[in-house]
Amino acid sequence: MGKIKKLLIANRGEIALRIMRSAREMGIKTVAVYSEADRNALHVRFADEAVCIGPPPSGESYLKMDTLIEVAKQTQADAIHPGYGFLSENEDFASRVEKAGLVFVGPSAQSIKLMGSKLAAKEAVAKFNVPLVPGTSEPIQDVTNAQKIAKEIGYPILIKASAGGGGKGMRVVESEEQFIEQMERAVSEATSAFGDGSVFIEKYVTQPRHIEFQIFGDKHGNVIHLFERECSVQRRHQKVIEEAPSSVLTPELRNAMGEAAVNVARACNYYGAGTVEFILDENLNFYFLEMNTRLQVEHPVTEMVTGVDLVKLQLKIAEGEKLPFAQHELSLHGHAIEARVYAEDPANNFLPDIGTLKTYQRPQGNGIRVDDGFEQGMSIPFYYDPMIAKLICHAETREMAIAKTIRAIEEYEITGVETTLGFCKFVMQHNAFRSGNFDTKFVEKYFTPEVLITAPEPEDELLAAVLSTVMTGTKKSTAETGVSEPVVSKWKQNRLVRK
């Protein structure tokens, strides 16, 4: 395979733009595809060519394999990058792309298939001595037998769907009495969500940290890792804050986990970018969870601390190049934190708050990167994920990266929709986060909507005066109502959020 000349990006939003930027720097022409809801989207404007592929629902546009391949051929693109989400982990798509004589910027269809099944993945990596959470290695057929195994493992246990993803299809069982009922629920949930009712059991690690390793393989059998990302701050098993490096890994543990991650990749003859997820228990034992066979949402934190452009590397690997560095040539520089900015209302159970970005001003300055797909005045389409942006801050130390993130959140001005900015600031300011001593229960343990109720700082006299006049009540009523538009801009609100 020679150089890629023209790349079709089978995705939308920030990730489509992010991929196009790297492609352009490499002299590769770009083709955007878009649904009718994304006609004015930035990725459409940025691309060299853009083709409308259907109505807004993704099933009628971004997920239409035949249409995407057809458009690639019509526009004479020679490769397709799937981004994340949509068709990025669809082995059928990967193989159809290759059968059409195009390059799929990602791993082989076989690797995707193997890692798409949590059970098959566990079986494959066990041969490479990668540590696994104690549990069953086959789909549960006999519930009574499974109950016996659960007892041996010891409660609490977790029932997981083999085809699961995005935190769906998981159920914690605290005691034997609940087992049968939870089992039935898990199977029916897995069947309706994934069309596959296979479930298995794992020991439930009660205070886990989620640590994942970025790996890369080439088509010549070389595999390396680009260190870890700590993704323990999660809400309903969905990541909200990610950082690199993790504050709990010693160099020895980092090496051991990195080696295990490389072995996971070897277990499925992997090439391209991939992420190996582990959980770490309170005694720093690590266990393989699963592998994501694509670029991750949170890949920028790795780019910031390693200086490697992961999308460019993906494209070079797809062209058949060898990895340009060996493991010992890679090192970590400073600390990076990513905060996911969603159009969601943290005060209202994080319900999506779709609308128009009346004000949209990005933070700026040294060490700040904003990956987004919006501009002021644009509407967030209701059909897709409500993520507005990823705010990534890089500084010499973790403490400095936290301070920079807080400063950037305060500077970020978004009005028209509720966002998770204030929530992210709450995390940055929390002692548990700052100390580095936290696990995946962080949000459950510490967050209630009340912590976001804004109250002016005593020294913020001018603002306090403005507030009390405009709110026409006492300070107490300000605290009860919270500060809302149009009284104070969101910029001021972000400054005021505190715990």
Interface with ligand ADP by CB under 6 A: which residues? 133, 158, 164-168, 202-205, 208, 210, 234, 237, 277, 279, 289-290, 440
Of 197 and 422, which has the nearer Cβ to ligand ADP? Answer: 197
CB 197, CB 190: distance < 8 Å:
yes
Of 20 and 183, which has the nearer Cβ to ligand ADP? Answer: 183
The sign one gets for the Cα dihedral 121, 332, 367, 463 is positive
- Which two three-digit tokens encode residue 499? 């715990």
The distance of closest approach from Cβ of residue 427 to ligand ADP in the complex, given in angstroms and rounded to an integer, is: 16
Burial 17-30 (b: 16+ CB within 10 A, else e): bbbbebbeeeebbb
- Which two three-digit tokens encode residue 226? 């680009």
CB 36, CB 52: distance < 8 Å:
yes
Short-list 49, 317, 46, 335, CA closest to 309: 317
Dist CA 310 CA 287 (whole Å):
25
The sign one gets for the Cα dihedral 472, 476, 480, 485 is positive
The distance of closest approach from Cβ of residue 165 to ligand ADP in the complex, given in angstroms and rounded to an integer, is: 4
Of 132 and 330, which has the nearer Cβ to ligand ADP? Answer: 132
The distance of closest approach from Cβ of residue 292 to ligand ADP in the complex, given in angstroms and rounded to an integer, is: 8
The distance of closest approach from Cβ of residue 299 to ligand ADP in the complex, given in angstroms and rounded to an integer, is: 16
At residue 374, φ and ψ (nearest 5 deg) are -130, 160
The distance of closest approach from Cβ of residue 278 to ligand ADP in the complex, given in angstroms and rounded to an integer, is: 9
How do 413-415 and 359-361 pair as beta strands? antiparallel
CB 389, CB 417: distance < 8 Å:
no
Number of Cβ atoms within 10 Å of the Cβ of 77: 25
- Which two three-digit tokens encode residue 236? 């309903």
Dist CA 81 CA 87 (whole Å):
10
- Which two three-digit tokens encode residue 90? 């669809």
- Walk across the sheet containing 238-244 and list its strands: 286-292, 272-280, 209-217, 223-235, 238-244, 335-342, 387-395, 368-372
The distance of closest approach from Cβ of residue 6 to ligand ADP in the complex, given in angstroms and rounded to an integer, is: 33
Short-list 258, 257, 250, CA closest to 226: 258
Of 173 and 408, which has the nearer Cβ to ligand ADP? Answer: 173
Of 120 and 466, which has the nearer Cβ to ligand ADP? Answer: 120
Of 232 and 478, which has the nearer Cβ to ligand ADP? Answer: 232
Of 166 and 436, which has the nearer Cβ to ligand ADP? Answer: 166
Dist CA 496 CA 492 (whole Å):
6
SS3 percent helix, strand, coil of the chain, rounded to 5, is 40, 25, 40
Q: What is the CA radius of gyration of the chain?
A: 23
Single out the catalytic residue among 209, 229, 294, 398.
294
Of 200 and 491, which has the nearer Cβ to ligand ADP? Answer: 200
Tell me which DSSP letter residue 97 carries: H
Instruction: List, in sequence order, the alpha helices (H) in 56-129.
Output: 65-74, 91-99, 109-116, 118-126
Assess whether 294 carries a catalytic annotation: yes
The distance of closest approach from Cβ of residue 250 to ligand ADP in the complex, given in angstroms and rounded to an integer, is: 21
The distance of closest approach from Cβ of residue 354 to ligand ADP in the complex, given in angstroms and rounded to an integer, is: 24
Q: Catalytic amino acids? A: 294
